Amino acid sequence: MSSKANRAVAVWLFIGVFMIMIQVLLGGITRLTGSGLSITEWKPLLGAVPPLNEQDWQAAFEKYKEIGQYKKINADFTLSDFKFIFFWEWFHRFWARLIGVVFIAGFVYLLFKKYLKKEMIKPMIILFVLGGLQGAVGWIMVKSGLNEEDIRVSHIRLAVHFIAALVLLVYTLWFAFKLITPESERIINPSLRKFLIWIICILTLQLIYGAFMAGLKAAFNAPTWPDINGEWWPASMGRLGGLKDLTDNQITVQFIHRGLAYLLVILLGLWWFKARSEIGKAFRKSASVPFLLVLLQAILGIITVLNSPDPNSLLWWGVAHQFVAMLLLVSLVWVLYLIKSKSFAQPS
């Protein structure tokens, strides 16, 4: 019964992981299509229904016309253009609502079947809080751009929203792994685990800079490789000065993003080399996956940059790049879970 209950809860959690990944991809599409400010109101319940007639569509369009994004860059938009960007923002919000429905419905079902154990209550509460915070952060981000000055939301707020989604993703994954992974499949290697934690920290920084790249449309400013507009050390780096240059200068952001990518390829190659001799069936099957994914991720990043002048190519290559980034994160979390430090070793 305990094993059956754990599997049922884990399946529910993995469904949540899949839905969160889809939500992140929808967020990427929303940003790259410039759709994020198309819905100027937050209606948690009524907002699930899009405009149903021409009068409602025109009313929504008139509200969009009041903000800076329309006035400064989309003043030539027709109602058809508006419907396109409205769809992606609406779908992004609709999917978030659907995640909430699946979470609540699954929780009620598992509670009814008595599959939820006492020790699961605290993680469940944390999941609920993280999900609620993610929705709140998303609306705060959108609301900050609904004015007459800004043409898009801050790329820094976008990064916060993105990382918050990934925190929710990782927490849900870890919870599921604890329920279905036999203890016998885990290995003990403190140094390998520590090395991997450092890699995940660097990947987190890389993901933040990935959000900066999307938010600033930085790829478009240097659609070349391996150089950056013909330079190996771009002269325009540092022009904004201090911290602002690290976060707001498109060339600096792209330079850092590329550098972190190269660093991750090297570090994950070294980590895999160290991990090859470890025993453990699950670990040996999984240890090479992060390195293969980071190679694919780097290739997709190069293709995305080279295709950035074409909005359609940028959109779909960018989404593929983002998807593989999440797969890389998932693979690292999985192998990290499989490695225990000595302090967690069971006495013989």
Model pLDDT for residues 139-187, shown as the tens digit of each residue: 788 877 777 777 778 888 889 989 999 999 999 999 999 998 888 888 8
Tokens 């890699």 sit on residue: 199
- Nearest residue to 239 via CA among 230, 254, 252: 252
Give the model confidence (pLDDT) of 17-32 as tens digits: 999 999 999 999 998 8
Take residue 240 and report the two structure tokens written for it.
């904004």
Sign of the alpha-carbon dihedral angle for 121, 125, 126, 127: positive
What phi and psi values does residue 50 have, to the nearest 5 degrees?
A: -75, 170
pLDDT, the chain, mean? 89
Give residue limits of the domains in the chain.
1-180, 184-348
What phi and psi values does residue 200 have, to the nearest 5 degrees?
A: -65, -35
Angle at 44 between CA 211 and CA 20, to 5 degrees: 40
**H-type alpha helices, 145-249:** 155-180, 190-216, 242-248
Query: So what's the pLDDT on residue 283?
Result: 84
Q: Considering the entire predicted model, what is its pTM? A: 0.89
The list of the chain residues with pLDDT below 70 reads 1, 44-47, 342-348
